[in-house]
A and B are shown apart, each in its own frame.
Chain A
Amino acid sequence: MTASRLPIGGRIDRSKPLYVTFDSRPLDAFAGDTLASALLANDEMLVGRSFKYHRPRGVFSAGVEEPNALVHLRTGGRHEPNARATMVEAFDGLVANAQNAWPSVGLDVGAANQLLAPFIGAGFYYKTFIGPFRGTRFWMFCERFIRRAAGMGSPGTLDDPDRYETVNLFCDVLVVGGGPAGLSAALAAGRTGAQVVLVEQDAQLGGALLSTPVDGPSDAWLEAIRSELSAMPNVRVLTRSTVFGAYDHDVYGVVERVWDHVAVAPEDQPRQRYAVVRTKRTVLATGAIERPMVFGGNDRPGVMLAGSVRAYVNRYAVLPGQRVVLATNNDSAYATARDLAAAGADVTLVDARHTIPDELLSQSRAEGVELRPGSAVLSAKGRGRVTGAIIVPVSENGRASAPGETIACDLIAVSGGWSPTLHLWSQRQQKPVFDAKKACFVPAGDTVPTMTCAGDAQAAGGVSAAIEDGFSAGKEAAIATGATNATGYAPEAPEPWPGDDWTRGIAPLWTVTKPDGKPAGKAFVDLQHDVTTSDIDLAHREGYQAVEHLKRYTTTGMATDQGKLSNVNALARMAQLRDAEIADVGTTTFRPPYTPITIGALAGNETGHHFRATRLTTIDGWHRAHGAVMTEAGAWLRPWYYRQAGEDVRAAYIREAAHVRQHVGIVDVSTLGKVAVQGPDAAEFLNRIYVNGWKTLPVGRLRYGVMLREDGFVLDDGATARLGEHDYFMSTTTANAAPVLAFAERLLQTAWTDLEVHVTSVTDQWAAIAVAGPKARDLLTAVVGDADLSRDALPNNHFTHGRIDGTEVRVHRMSYSGELAYELYVPALFGRAVWEALIAAGDPFNLKPYGTEAMGALRVEKGHVAGPELEGRTTLKDLGLEGFASAKKPFVGSVLRNRPALTDADRPTLVGLEIDGELGALPGSLLFAADGPTEGHGEGWVSSTTYSPALGKNIAMGLLKNGPSRMGETVRVVDFVGDRTLKATVVSHHFFDPKGERQNA
C-alpha cells in the first residue's frame, strides 16, 4: 500500500463518484478530483514514459508545470494528446491513456533507449548524422527514423466535433491569477468602480489557499472575498481560464475552457473560448512555481514537489505516500510535513540548511516529523517507483560530506525553492533579475509601466504580504485608469501556515552530488526533455555556455515547459561550471503560449464553412438554381460552367463557348473590380496611373488602359468610362480589384497630394453582365428600352444608358470574347432581376448562360491577356502592349520600365501556340526549342491554355524568348510535373478573328 485516498477531508465531493478510466482500468474518482489526483488515489504511480529515454515517470506536480503526467485524453474526434493530468478535471466518462509507450507504459519497448543513453546526449544528432558522408544525405536518411522516435503523443486525424469561439473583452484592470494576491487586487480595483477582469486557470478561486486544510482560517477569508467580488457588477471572473500570451498595447490572449470539464459540451455551446483581452492596466498575481531538486534518480515515480503533495493531501484527500522523505532548502516544506504527518504519514524532513528557524524546528518535532538538518537526498532508489532515498550530509555547495544512509520510503517530496511565475511579464520582452537572497528571478522594477507584479510573482514573502501587495497593486492600477471610488482597507490576512514565506532564509542547493561533484546517477534538470546535469556539462565543454546557446543545444526549458521547472536549476548548473553568478548567466525570454492551447481555440469558429468570408454576386442564387458548378476566384465563388446531363467541365465549356460564337450568351462579370474616380483632377490622375492618355476622353466614351507598378512591371488592365466631367468609372481585373484600389489610395495620400481626386470601390454597387455573340445586339435591343444600340449609335468603346423594365442600366460596348459584345452595369440589387429578364427574353435568340471556363476559352481564342499573363513579372513589351504607352507624359513605371533588364531583347514575349495532337498543354509547362537541350528553366512557359471550339484544336498562350521572330517554329512543351512533352507551333496569340470584324460588327 502506498498512495491512497484519505477517509475524510479534501475539497472533493464524495457524494458524486465519477467513472474514470486510465489505460482501460477504472479509477475511483469524485467530483473535484483532477485526473492526477484520481491516479494517485488509485496508486497509479507509473503514468507515462519520458521523451527521449522512455524512463518511467509519475505525477510530479499538481499544476500547469507538470512535466511527466502527459496523457492521451478522450477518444475519436475529441482525442487530445499531451494533456497534463494535473490540469484535467475529472468528469464522468473520462477516458485517459498513457502515451509515448508501446505496447504499454509498464512494458515499453522504447525503454531500450536507456541503453543508448551514453550515445544520445545533448546535440547528438548534430554530430552523429552529418559526418559520415559529404553533404546531408546521411542526415536525410536518418531523419525519418529520428522523427518517428521523437515527439510525444499522437495527434488525432478525425474532425474535431466541438465548437470553439472567439470573444473580445475590454477592461480597465486585468488581474491574472486568483490566489491571495490576485483576489486582493481584484477586490481593490473592483471597489474603485473600475471595470475588472479576473482570470484564474483553476476551476476555483483561491490559488495556494486551496492547498491548505479544509475549514482552516483561509477558507473563511476566501469565502468573504469571493462573496464581495461576486456582488460587484464591474468585476468579471473567468475561472478555468489561462492567460497564455501578453502582447504589445496591453493585449492578452486568454483561453477559457468552458466545457472541458464534461465529456461533451451542451449543444451549440463552445468547448473552449479564446478571449482577446484589451486592458489599460494589468496586475500579474501569477504566484510562484516550486523548483525541483536535482539529484540522482530525481525523475522516479514517487518523486514529487512538496507543495503539490500538500495540495493532494488537503485539496484532494489523497496521501501520495505512507513513508515520506521530504527534502528542502527553505521553510515552505514544513507546512507539507505538518499536513502529511496529520494525515498519518511517516515523515522524515531533510533540510539542507544547517540552521533551521526555531519555531519550525520545535513545531515539526512536536508533530512527529523526524528532522535531518544539513542533509539532502543524494539519490532516489527504485525503478518503477521510489522505494528509498539515500540521505547524505551536504556542504553548502551540495556535495556530500559523509557516507549516505538509505531510508526506505515510497515518496520523496522536494522543495528546491520557488520561482516567481514571470512568463507573461517576460513575454513583454523583459529580462528579470536574479535575487540572490531569495534565490530566484524577480521582475526588474517598473519596466512595463502598465503591468504590475504582485504577491509571489515578485516574491513578496508570505500570504499576508501577498494580500497587501495585491491590494495595493489593484488599487494603484485602477486609479491609474481614472477610477476614483474609495477602496477601504485591505482584507485582513488569514493566519499564516508554517513557513508560508519561502523567501526567508532559503539556502540555494542546485545539485546534490557525491564528494567528487558528480551526481549519483542520472540527475535531471529538465524532466520533460530528459535533460540531465551531464547534458549541461557537455554543453559547457563544447562551448555552448551562453544561456541562449545552452537552451537550444540541450533543449532545456523549451516547448511547453518554458522554464517553469527547469530554468533556474539549469542556469545554476551552468553558473557553477562557468564559475559565475546566476545573475551573470542570465535567463532566456519566455514565449507564448504560457501553457499549451488547442488549435481549435485559436481558430474559433472560423473553420469549415466559415473558414473565411466568401463573396457572392447578387446573381448567385440564379446560378445555383440552374445547375452552375461554382469555382473559387479569390474570395469569390463564380459559375464555372452550367452542367448539362453527362457533361464534365471540358464538354461543358466547349459547348458554352461554341454557343457564344454561334448565337449569344451571358456571363456574370460582377466580380470585376469597379472604382469610382471622382474629382476635378480625375483625368490627371488617370493620366498618371495608366500608361496611356486620358485627358481627351469625352463623356460617354470608355477606353482600355494598362497600369504599371513603380518598378515597371504590368500591374493590371481594364476599361474606364467617363461618366461625367469629373466622374470616371474604372474597371479592374477581378483578382486585382483590391490591390489597384490600395495602390491608387496610396499614391493619392502620399505622392499625389496635389490632386483633388477620390477613389471609392463600387464593386458592390454594380452587378455586371456580359452579353456576347452575334445576336447580342438583337437581344439587347429587344430588352433594353430608351437606348439606341445600333452600330453607329453605339460603336465599340462607347456606353449609353437604358432601361430594362423600368430599371436603369448602363450599356458598355466592349468585348472580351472577340464577339459582338456588351457589358450591362446594373444597380446590384437589381442584378438578378435584370439577369432573369434577359433570360426570359432570350429564347428567340437562343440565349444561354456561360461560365468562367468558357469565358476563358473565348478570351484565349481572341488572345486577350488576363491574370495568367498579368502575373507581376511581365512588362508592356513582353505582352505586346508597348504601343499603349504614351511618350508624351510620365506615368507610374514610365522610368523603370526602361531598365536594361526589362528591355532585353531576349526576354520572353507573348506568343500563341498551336498544340499538336489531341492533348492540350498545361499552364506552367516550359518551352524548349524542338531540337535543343532540355535544361534549366527553358525558353519560356505556357501561361493560358484551352481547347478552341472555333479553331477545333488545342491552343495556348505563352511567353517565349524572341517570340515574335519565331513564328512558325516548332517548340517542345514540357510538363515536368506530369512528365509529358508535346509539340507546338509558334503563332500569333490573336488566334481568332485577328482583324476584329466580329466584335466591330
Chain B
Amino acid sequence: MLERRSPLADLIGTSAADMSDQHAPLILSEQALGTLWQVAGWQDFETAVEPILAALGFAGLGDHRSVRTSAGIECYRIAPDRLLLRCPDASVLSAALDKALPGRIAALDLSHARIVIRVSGAATVDLMARLAPLDFADAACPIDSFAQTGIHGVPVLIRRGSEEAFDLVVPVTWAVSIWEFVCENARPFGYVVEASRPTSPASQLPP
C-alpha cells in the first residue's frame, strides 16, 4: 500500500514536541479527517437526502451553524442544498449513500481535499480572533458550532470542538501556508506542536 501523506507531515515531524509535560498556551496539531463527502441536491433535497440521513441517524437537514453528530458521523449543512458528512469509517458512509434516489443526489468524495488543523489551549480564542473575522466568544460561537470563513484569504471551515479547541478544515493545497500562518499568529502566545495522528483509510474513487 502506498503511504497517504499529509502536506503537513514534514512540518509537524520536525517540530512536534513531547506533550507529556507541556503547559503551553497553545497546542497545534493535525487531526485525522477520515472520510468527507459532500452531498448535494436540488429543490427536493430535503426529501431526497432523507434516506441517507436517516441511515446515519440524523433527522432533517439541520441549521447552517451547528455540527450534528450521530455515532461518530458529523453533519455540516454548508448551504441550503449541500451537506458535508464526515465519518471515520468510509464503509458506513458508502452504505448510506447507496440509499440515495438515483439522479436526485450528487455525492462527492472530498476526503483528500481537506486536512484538519486543530488549535487548542487556553489562548485558543485569542488566537482565533487573529485568524478569522468572526466572533469566537462562547455566546456567539458555542461548542459544536461551525462557520465557513477565510483565513489568510483561503476558504476554511471552522468548527468549535470544545471550549478551548477549534478544528480548521483547510484545503489540502493551502495547508502548508495556513499552518505557517497559524504558527506565526501563535508565536506571541507561545505554542507547541503535537505529533500528528494520521490515519490511512482505503482510497475510494467516486462511484
Contact = CB atoms under 8 A, between A and B. Distances in A.
B2 A605 contact: no
A612 B133 CA distance: 17
A620 B204 CA distance: 23
Interface in B52-103: 81-82, 103
Interface string A829-873: 110111001000000000000000000000000000000000000
Nearest to B151: A613
A613 B134 contact: no
A758 interface: yes
A806 B185 contact: no
A620 B114 CA distance: 16
23 contacts: A165-B130, A165-B185, A167-B130, A615-B177, A618-B7, A618-B172, A618-B173, A620-B176, A676-B108, A678-B40, A678-B108, A724-B206, A725-B103, A765-B172, A766-B112, A807-B2, A827-B205, A828-B112, A828-B113, A830-B3, A830-B203, A833-B3, A833-B4
Contact of B4 (A269, A610, A617, A830): A830
Contacts of B203: 806-808, 827, 830
Contacts of A618: 5, 7, 172-173
B145 interface: no
Interface in A261-300: 268-270, 276, 278
B107 to A, nearest CB: 8
Contacts of A269: 188
Given A278-B135, A758-B82, 12 more contacts: A168-B129, A605-B184, A612-B153, A614-B177, A616-B7, A616-B176, A616-B177, A680-B103, A760-B108, A806-B2, A808-B203, A833-B2
Contacts of A833: 2-5
A758 to B, nearest CB: 5
B130 A827 contact: no
Contact of B174 (A168, A270, A615, A805): A615
A613 B2 contact: no
B205 A829 contact: no
Contact of A765 (B4, B109, B130, B178): B109
Which of B2, B3, B40, B129 has the largest count of A CB atoms less than 10 A from its CB?
A: B2
B152 A829 contact: no
Complex A-B, nearest 9 residue pairs according to Cβ-Cβ distance, in ascending order: A678-B106, A833-B2, A170-B135, A764-B113, A765-B113, A828-B112, A613-B177, A827-B112, A764-B171
A170 B140 contact: yes
Contacts of A763: 173
Nearest to B170: A764
B113 A762 contact: yes
Interface string B117-135: 0000000000001101111
B185 A801 contact: no
A144 B117 CA distance: 53
Contacts of A766: 112
A758 B204 CA distance: 21
B112 A765 contact: yes
B42 A756 contact: yes
B154 interface: yes
B137 A170 contact: yes
B110 interface: yes
A804 B178 contact: no
B152 A606 contact: yes
Nearest to A605: B184
A270 B205 contact: no
A776 B109 CA distance: 29
A610 B109 CA distance: 31
B29 interface: no
Contacts of A636: 173
A387 B132 CA distance: 58
Contacts of A270: 188
Nearest to A678: B106
Contact of B206 (A167, A616, A723): A723
Contact of B188 (A268, A801, A805, A830): A268
Contacts of A827: 111-112, 203, 205
Given A166-B130, A679-B106, A610 B152 contact: yes
B23 interface: no
Contact of B132 (A168, A606, A830, A837): A168
Nearest to A195: B137
B202 to A, nearest CB: 8
B110 A765 contact: yes
A995 interface: no
Contacts of B42: 679, 756
A805 B202 CA distance: 12
Nearest to B6: A829
Contacts of B190: 268
Interface string B167-194: 0000111101110110011011010000
A170 B184 CA distance: 22
Which of B4, B135, B172, B203 has the largest count of A CB atoms less than 10 A from its CB?
A: B172
Given A612-B153, A760-B108, A810 B113 contact: no
A609 B180 contact: yes
B124 to A, nearest CB: 14
